[in-house]
Structure 1
Amino acid sequence: MHIRILCIGRMKDCPEREMVNDYIKRAQKTGRGLGIRSVEEIEVEAGGGKSKESERLIAKAGKARLIRLDERGKALKSLEFSKKIANWRDSGEDIAFLIGGADGHAPELADKAREAISFGVQTWPHKLVRVMIAEQIYRALSIEAGSPYHRE
């Protein structure tokens, strides 16, 4: 299974970049023993409006299951998220988490990525959303690997 975080735009060197890189590195290491072949972030060119950006996200995702990050999506507890990733892995699916541009996702993307996950109803800076999804992927893989999880 490949796990990809597809993001519109580039994030320059900053504390958030360091955090994303750290969580992805941890997730790759933890996921190796769980059948996860890769965890990666892919930056997709911004511009042209949300329809063009959404087209680029879909193209980069290939045949992966598309999961949009959207405030209207379903909020999941970390244990639920871990189980979802395990189910996708067990079904042989690659997954792509999609982070839209400043204007969000186009309706065409929502049609193709029927599944949506929310980090709450607030509006989050894109840099923080990248950190949050990378951390949650790492946490989900750690839970699946049997690391103690004290929140339940």
Structure 2
Amino acid sequence: MHPVRIIQVMLFQNFLGKKKNNGCKTITFVIGGIYGLHETLIKKFSSISFGKMTWPHGLMRVLLLEQIYRAQTILDGHPYDK
């Protein structure tokens, strides 16, 4: 079972950077429902968490996209205001 990590900007940036440096061309993000993800997915893939709260799917998509944008901007060497 892979450990669930609560997301932090620098850790997420490092996660994306390592994937990119290792030649990974595609990263798939799956947003779990109110009861989380199926145990098979949890065992097979790495996972991240945006905290212990339950977020609406629509809002979670926006939060995830913003974190991807922020991390990629930092990786590309562009300043990103906090």
What's the TM-score, normalizing by structure 1?
0.47
Residue of structure 1 in register with 2:55 after alignment: 124
Residue of structure 1 in register with 2:77 after alignment: 146
Q: 4+ residue stretches of structure 1 with deviation over 4 A? A: none
Of 39, 42, 50 in structure 2, the residue corresponding to residue 110 of structure 1 is: 42
What's the CA shift for 1:85?
0.4
RMSD across aligned C-alpha pairs, in angstroms? 1.8
Residue of structure 1 in register with 2:68 after alignment: 137
What's the CA shift for 1:137?
0.4
Q: In 1, Cα distance between the equivalents of 2:22 and 2:61? A: 25
Give 5+ residue unaligned stretches, structure 2.
none
The answer to whether the aligner puts 1:78 opposite 2:20 as a matched pair is no
Is the partner of 2:79 in helix, strand or coil?
A: coil
Give 5+ residue unaligned stretches, structure 1.
1-71
Determine if contact 1:82/1:141 at 8 Å carries over to the other structure. yes
Q: Deviations over 1:100-137 (max 9, x none)?
A: 23432111111111x11111111111111111111100
Percent identity of equivalent pairs: 39
Determine if contact 2:7/2:49 at 8 Å carries over to the other structure. yes
Greater strand fraction, Structure 1 or Structure 2:
1
CA radius of gyration, larger in:
1
Closer/same/farther in 2, CA of residues 104 and 77 from structure 1, 3 Å limit: closer
Residue of structure 1 in register with 2:30 after alignment: 98
What's the TM-score, normalizing by structure 2?
0.82
Determine if contact 1:73/1:116 at 8 Å carries over to the other structure. yes
What's the CA shift for 1:150?
4.8
